[in-house]
Amino acid sequence: MLPKHSLRILISEQEIQACIKRLALEISEQYRDCPLTLLGVMTGSLFFLTDLMRQLTIPHQVGVIQASSYPGNATTPEKLRVNLDYLPDLTGRSVLLIDDILDTGQTLDFLKKEISSRCHNEIQTAVLLWKKSRTVKDVTPDYLGFEIEDEFVVGYGLDYADDYRHLSAIHVPDFSVKKLP
């Protein structure tokens, strides 16, 4: 079993849920007359995507994309790996790309271009967290939950070595302090 790290809450569960309600209202208003497809970037966006879907007041479809540039316990981005094999039919639909965190912008920049070239639709983005100071690509989220400092975060879908995703709040782990399981 992996050792548990000391965790500091950065964004509480209540703050996240209030933010999602706000975002869902904005998205529902903007897309009220458009067929909408949400595309979640897996696996980190799973919580955000699910909670956002529940709060939307408009009909919508959903799909997922596998993308990762942080394999295993990496804390810095590596080569982007993407699987677009399971994209739903996006013909004539507005597309909202949902991701847990905008860091360097590499993933969202690539996905926006790739999906747009396949369906010729405008792609908008919604991210829960944005580390604006680390963004190197020309990407700005259309819908933003929280801008955060350049700290490594876990919880609410975000992981370290595929652990901590289950936490209901966003936490900053202290890797220098380990607690027994």
Asked if residue 105 lies in contact with residue 136, where contact means CB atoms within 8 angstroms, the answer is yes
Residue with tokens 């993407």: 82
Rounding to the nearest 10 degrees, give the CA dihedral for residues 25, 115, 43, 45.
-20
Residue with tokens 């970037």: 41
The total number of residues shown for the chain amounts to 181
Q: Which of 51, 137, 37 minimizes the C-alpha distance to 89?
A: 37
So which residues are the catalytic ones? 103
Asked if residue 159 lies in contact with residue 132, where contact means CB atoms within 8 angstroms, the answer is no
Q: How far apart are CA 181 and CA 178, in angstroms?
A: 9
